[in-house]
Amino acid sequence: MARRELHDRYFRQAKREGYLARSAYKLIEIDDKRKLIRKGDRVIDLGCAPGSWLQVAAERTGSRGFVVGIDLKPVSGPFARNVRTVVGDFTEIDPADLLDKEGRLANVVLSDMAPNTSGHGDHFMSVRLCEQILDRLPLLLRKGGSFAMKVFEGEAFPPLLERTRQSFHDVKVIKPKATRDVSREVFVTAKRYKPPVIEPDDRADESAGAPPPPAATPSTGRGDEPPPPPPGWFDPPAPSGNGSDPERTGS
């Protein structure tokens, strides 16, 4: 009962303070603990409906920041002027559509996304969604940037956490107080992003430094024939009218 009252408190508080959902307090607690968002940051919110995380991000970046959210359905609300929303699938949209007008990568990427819950395989679908986010990060998040994503705990969670640790220097798991007690959701928070290093192609490097190949010798179509004589060479007499070679007749 105490836990239910706590959630009712967040719901009432969100209405009182003008947030679109009580999930705003999840991001507030996460950012208070981890300091992911700074003034002037560029922030991308994946799965931004109903919009409460956009509100919090806009408050914390300030008027000099830039916040863009994407969701499968339109999202509207009392957003600040530095907030833009996009309708679409983040796995299919051109990543450039989520960047600022200069095309700069974001300082922070957030995700409160969850799959449509069915009670069967929700955990695995949640992990797969998070893996898709990690796949797209090199196109969205700048080096040294910060990150937070929701995931349902389960047997596939440890490998996901390990993969996140390979991409960031500082990774911690948080379960905000505004999360329902029965929910298995947690938030993986990460700082100091390490983009993947694109290894150069050794063969390409070798060919780039190699001398150019010798010019090809003109061919008459048979590999065993010598090249044609240089210009000015004595032209042999034309063959006889019957088409026979005078050097090979009479044998």
Residue 79 has φ and ψ, to the nearest 5°, of: -85, 155
* Cross-strand partners of 109: 44, 147
- Residue from 94, 132, 80 nearest 111 by CA: 132
Catalytic residue among 33, 73, 143, 150: 150
- Rounded Cα distance, 7 and 23, in Å: 10
Cα distances (angstroms) measured from residue 163 to each of 99, 167, 182, 187, 194? 25, 7, 26, 15, 12
Residues 191 and 181: beta-carbon distance below 8 Å: no
Whether residue 150 lies in the annotated active site: yes
Residues with a known catalytic role: 150
